[in-house]
Amino acid sequence: MILANNVSKKFGKLQALQNVSVTCNKGECIALIGPNGSGKTTLIKSILGMVVPDSGFITFNGNNILHHWQYRSEIGYMPQIGRYPDNMRIVDVLNMMKDIRQHKSAIDEELVAAFGLEELKQKRMRTLSGGTRQKVSACLAFLFDPQVLILDEPTAGLDPVSSEILKEKIIREKQKGKLVLVTSHVLSELDDLVTQVIYMQDGELRFHKTIEALREDTGQEKLSKAIAHVMLNASTI
């Protein structure tokens, strides 16, 4: 579904990505993890077409994404920090996105109801807590029933109940055959979600494994402990 082939990107003297090749298929929930500055954000932005690689290429459903932006209508993106016009109400933000999207085959507002945002729709964005803004970002990512979801720190700032609501939604979408890419520094949040792990460091892909293979290689059941094992024993993985 998404293929990155030898993708490299440099910002000045910083080598953000170095010959990264990964294949991400539908029906998978893939954790994209690594230390700060490992290249995760640059890879995500490259997939979204927000960053153009210096070399290599990325395809979506077999088609090179360079200068062909239609594929982005198939992706729901939840940024780590959503920025919205302060004076707009929640309902205005949702309606604006619906108006911008010219061709929408389906609308998914399940999270709007699950998060209790119906009662808050008239509130202006500047008055919202960080957690509520995060809920709005999640609702927008799922709004158009996309085939691919890219979620950057999706549970950051959410209360435990809302976090579980979102994780259950992610699981349901994966079970529908969608591809989910998710980043998180709280690895315990990913234990019940992910089927594969992409681990990056210093702009390079260190490994791309199924969760079962990672557990077998490290002897650890919990993802956080497995990754800690990898970081301490990098040469053996």
* Helix locations, 13-145, DSSP H: 40-47, 90-100, 110-114, 130-142
Residue-level pLDDT at 234: 63
State phi, psi for 32 to the nearest 5 degrees.
-105, 105
Residue-level pLDDT at 237: 47
Region 205-221 average pLDDT: 94
Asked if 194 contacts 224 with a C-beta cutoff of 8 angstroms, the reply is no
Assign residue 201 a region: left if phi > 0, alpha if psi is -120 to 50, beta otherwise? Answer: beta
235, pLDDT greater than 60: no
From 35-49, 141-155, 205-219, 222-236, the region with the lowest mean pLDDT: 222-236
State phi, psi for 219 to the nearest 5 degrees.
75, 20
15, pLDDT greater than 50: yes
79-119 pLDDT per residue, tens: 998 999 999 999 999 999 999 887 767 899 999 999 999 99
152, pLDDT greater than 80: yes
Query: Among residues of the chain, what percentage have pLDDT more than 70?
Result: 98
Nearby residues of 21 by Cβ (< 8 Å), 6 or more positions away: 4, 5, 6, 7, 56, 205
Provide the mean pLDDT of the chain: 93
State phi, psi for 80 to the nearest 5 degrees.
-65, -40
24-43 pLDDT per residue, tens: 999 999 999 998 899 999 99
Residue-level pLDDT at 208: 96
Residue-level pLDDT at 236: 47
166-179 pLDDT per residue, tens: 999 999 999 999 99
Band (pLDDT 50/70/90 cuts) for residue 192 is confident
74, pLDDT greater than 90: yes
Helix (H) or strand (E) holding 180: strand 179-183
Q: For the chain, how many helices (H) and strands (E)?
A: 7, 10
Instruction: State whether the Cα torsion 124-127-128-133 is positive or negative.
Output: positive
Work out the number of other CB atoms within 10 angstroms of the CB of residue 168.
13
Task: Tell me which DSSP letter residue 84 carries.
Answer: -
Residue-level pLDDT at 150: 98
Quote the pTM value.
0.93
Fold of 2-236: Rossmann fold (3.40.50)
